[in-house]
Structure 1
Amino acid sequence: MANKKPYVTYVLIAIQVVLFLAMQVMGGSESALTLILFGAKFNPLIAAGEYWRLITPIFLHIGWMHLLINTITLYYLGSMVEEIIGRWKYLAIYLASGIMGNLFSYQFSDNVSAGASTALFGLFAVFLALRNLYPSNRYIQNLGSQYMMLIGMNLVFGFLGSGIDIWGHIGGIVGGFLITMTLMKGEGHDDRKTQRIGSLAVYLIIAIFILLNQGTVNAIMP
């Protein structure tokens, strides 16, 4: 797969850039009303049944710097993950991570939010799962250790900083880890059916619990 172009990553980048430009034209990407119009995470509307808002925030960004940082990260990190695990598994993990990140944000944060970082943290978590699945692969073990440190540093900065949806990041990590454990077989001849089904079940249980609990819906329409 080393010679294949990361086409899924290119498409993901193109989508978020096009949507960002559209938001700029329609009122600005830093306008709460414009963000909500384009599908940002907004708790009252999700509680009212607009569950598609758990997906659309993955592709929306708030300001040029937010877009730039996440696009650069997606290009390098996404290309690496796409090459290692394949296009469709990569896409599934990216979307599932973003959804879980937005579910956590829905549950624990009232703020209007958007950004690819929920999915990007899921891609970080891919290497934690691969580290567990391929214990004899030194390359994967080294990558896993590096990304474990990177995740820890980013979470610390997230807790200390302001304007960062830390719960979205944590949810992305949880989602990315669980779906990677679901999709990847790992080493050996055992196909890990029980563990893979269990990982998927945990993902679904968390998602259903949050939706039934209806998150925190105290946000006020801006």
Structure 2
Amino acid sequence: MFTRSEDFRTFIRLYPVVTAIVCIQVLLWLLFLLPLPEMTFFFASIVGYNGGVANGEWWRLITPIFLHANFAHILFNSVSIILFAPALERMLGKARFLSAYLATGIIANLATFFVIEDLSYTHVGASGAIFGLFGIYLYIVVFRKDLIDSSNSQLIITILAIGIVMTFINTNINIIAHIFGAVGGALIAPLFLKRPGR
């Protein structure tokens, strides 16, 4: 389920949404490496920023999902998406997978806004949406055993547990986004999964 054996062209054909997500975030990261004032201004206008959201800049609930702080950040999140998102894209279909990915990312960013009341707080990263995908997997493990085998269920539980532990150990982590992303994914999972027997 999570073993990737496809070549590059086959991966793009089978998982176009996952490919597009990774390409968008890599392209944005490369653009913001350019030492241009315009790029600095553009980044500042779309980064997750509680003060901006409070002033009606609603797009800041979406755009941070595709932004990353440094190479290690984008590498880790991109590898996580490439490894764990394709199975959900195949399971849900392109439109529902994209909707679920964006929805969990937005839930994570809304929680960041409402729970972290500091209006100067800024954040970037796909982690909230990635934890949202694991929240969907967690729902599948608990309530939809017809969609996943026991070995992959154990893998999901293990990775999610490690991810939660690392959330509290590492510094500069948006803990609220991780937790609410996972909870949000589990809560919205029934809206995107096909009913048993269909």
- Normalised by the length of structure 1, the TM-score is 0.74
Q: Could you list the runs of 4 or more consecutive aligned residues of structure 1 that deviate by over 4 angstroms after TM superposition?
A: none
CA spacing shift, 1:22–1:184, aligned 2, 3 Å: same
Residue 167 of structure 1 is matched in structure 2 by 176
The residue type paired with residue 125 of structure 1 is G
Whether 1:148 aligns to 2:157 is yes
1:73-112 map, 5 Å:
73-109=80-116, 110=118, 111-112=121-122
Secondary structure of the corresponding residue to residue 79 of structure 1: helix
Q: Percent of counterpart pairs with the same letter?
A: 31
1:47-66 map, 5 Å:
47-66=54-73
Secondary structure of the corresponding residue to residue 27 of structure 2: helix
Secondary structure of the corresponding residue to residue 25 of structure 1: coil
- C-alpha distance in 1, partners of 2:160/2:36? 34
* Structure 2: unaligned runs, 5 residues or longer: 1-5
CA spacing shift, 1:19–1:138, aligned 2, 3 Å: closer
Quote the RMSD (CA, aligned, Å).
2.3
Residue 191 of structure 2 is matched in structure 1 by 182
- Normalised by the length of structure 2, the TM-score is 0.82
CA contact (8 A) 1:26 1:34 kept: no
Indicate the larger mover: 97-106 or 76-85: 76-85
CA contact (8 A) 1:100 1:171 kept: yes
* Structure 1: unaligned runs, 5 residues or longer: 190-222
Whether 1:119 aligns to 2:126 is no
CA spacing shift, 1:48–1:142, aligned 2, 3 Å: same
